Amino acid sequence: MSAVRRSPVRGAAPFIIGIGLLWLAVIVLLPLGMVFAEAFRKGVEGFLKAFDEPDAWAAVRLTLLVAAISVPLNALFGLAAAWCVTRYEFRGKALLTTLIDLPFSISPVISGLVWVLLFGSAGWFAPLLDALGIRIIFTVTGLVLATILVTLPFVARELIPLMQQQGADEELAAVTLGAGPWAIFSKITLPNVRWALLYGVLLCNARAMGEFGAVSVVSGHIRGLTNTLPLHVEILYNEYDFVGAFATATVLAGLALITLLIKSLLEWRFADELAATRRH
């Protein structure tokens, strides 16, 4: 590819670039800048005050905990699903692939709602849970369930196209050379998909930590107990503690920027090893 792509509408270049960049600046960059501007509206001191609260730290810990449970589970699921879908021929494969992608087209609120329908006080399993003395809704378990559902496809959809494209020949070659199941997975498959796996985990994690709608439905907003960072932002905002809300939001914005940075680095460095369909 030449450095400068030819365009049929050559004279229009500055015009198109200008409008495109202006649009991106207004729609995307302005809100990002606003987060930081509002967070420091009352100076560094006002900014830091938001982190004096124990509730803020409880929210950070809870967010990390929820991600630490749901992301590895979805990574494991992604590996199993990709292996199963790309290495075997069986009926119903198309249906399975469709199901895996399904959570992307479900509203986050619905992803929370379904758990309430099952485990809420008037849910299907409410009598059973009452009898056992277990609570799921308004607890960390509920947050984890909602987060798993929302982020379920992230790793699988990175691995499936890549493993499809790589084909099974290397694993079959390993079989003829006498490799057992574990050797095939750990020496051939895993090294071949490691960067795509990391990429998927990265995106999965960003969504898990930033999820709002689904966890908002199952959380009950109990301060210090079931408030993740995004929910903490909402509470502060609704209490008109704008500086506090935006200061907390900078943590999440920082997370987003770091995610984008690592994502771009992975894309530049390992373009070949990430799936051709990596772009959303």
Partner 1 sequence: MPLTIKNLSKSFRGFTALRNVDLEVGDGEFLALLGPSGSGKTTLLRIMAGLEQPEAGSVTFDGEDFLAQTPRERRVGLVFQHYALFRHMTVADNIAFGLNVRPGKDRPSKSAIRERVAELLRLVQLEDLGKRYPAQLSGGQRQRVALARALAIQPRLLLLDEPFGALDAKVRRELRRWLRHIHDETGVTTVFVTHDQEEALDLADRVAILKDGHIEQVDTPLDLYQHPSSAFVHDFLGGAVHLPAKVQDGVLTVDGWTTDAPEDAPAGGVILAVRGEDLILSEQGITASIVTLSPRGPRTRIGIEIEGQALDLERPAHDPLSKLSVGQTVRVRPDLIHLFKS
Partner 2 sequence: MTSIPLPRRWRWKEPSVLPGFGLTFGFVVLYLSLFLLIPLAALIVRPWELGLDGFWRQITTPRALSALQLSFYTAGVAALINAVMGLLLAWALVRYDFPGKRIIDALVDLPFALPTAVAGIALTAIYAPNGPIGAWFNDVGIRIAYTPIGILLALVFVGLPFVVRSVQPVLEDVDHEVEEAAETLGASPFQRARLVILPAVLPALISGAGLAFARAVGEYGSVIFIAGNMPLKSEIAPLLIVIQLEQFNYAGAAAIGLAMLGLSFLILLVMNGLQTLLLRRGRK
19 binds partner 1, rule: CB under 8 A = no
Contact 230, 212 (CB under 8 A): yes
Name every residue whose Cβ is closer than 8 Å to that of residue 136 and which is 6 or more positions away in sequence: 115, 119, 129, 142, 145
CB proximity list for 187: less than 8 A, separation 6 or greater = 174, 179
The answer to whether 159 and 220 have CB atoms below 8 angstroms apart is no
Instruction: Note whether 26 binds partner 1 by CB under 8 A.
Output: no
Question: Which of 157, 154, 136 minimizes the C-alpha distance to 145?
Answer: 136
**Stated length of the chain:** 280
Q: Please, what is the minimum distance in Å from the beta carbon of residue 118 to partner 2?
A: 5
Interface residue with partner 1 among 3, 54, 180, 268 (CB under 8 A) is 180
| Residue 200 interacting with partner 2 (CB under 8 A) | no
Please write down the HEC assignment for all residues of 21-79.
HHHHHHHHHHHHHHHHHHHCCCHHHHHHHCCCCHHHHHHHHHHHHHHHHHHHHHHHHHH
Q: Give the CA radius of gyration of the chain.
A: 23
Q: Is 142 in the site for partner 2 (CB under 8 A)?
A: no
**25-54 residues near partner 2, rule: CB under 8 A:** 27-32, 34-35, 38
- Minimum distance between the CB of residue 256 and partner 2, rounded to whole angstroms? 4
Cα angle 200, 204, 206; round to 5: 120
Task: Give CB contacts under 8 A, 24+ apart, made by 182-187.
Answer: none
Which lies closer to partner 1 via its Cβ, residue 83 or residue 138?
Answer: 83
Nearer to partner 2, 32 or 68 (CB): 32
174 binds partner 1 (CB under 8 A): yes
The single residue among 210, 226, 244, 266 that binds partner 2, judged by CB under 8 A, is 210
Q: Residue 187 binds which one of partner 1, partner 2, none, with CB within 5 to 8 A depending on kind?
A: partner 1
Cβ closest to partner 2, residue 195 vs residue 248: 248
Does 172 participate in binding partner 1 (rule CB under 8 A)? yes
Nearest distance in Å: CB 171, partner 1:
9
Residue among 48, 68, 117, 134 that touches partner 2 (CB under 8 A): 117
- CB under 8 A: which stretch of 136-144, 184-192, 219-227, 237-245 binds partner 1? 184-192
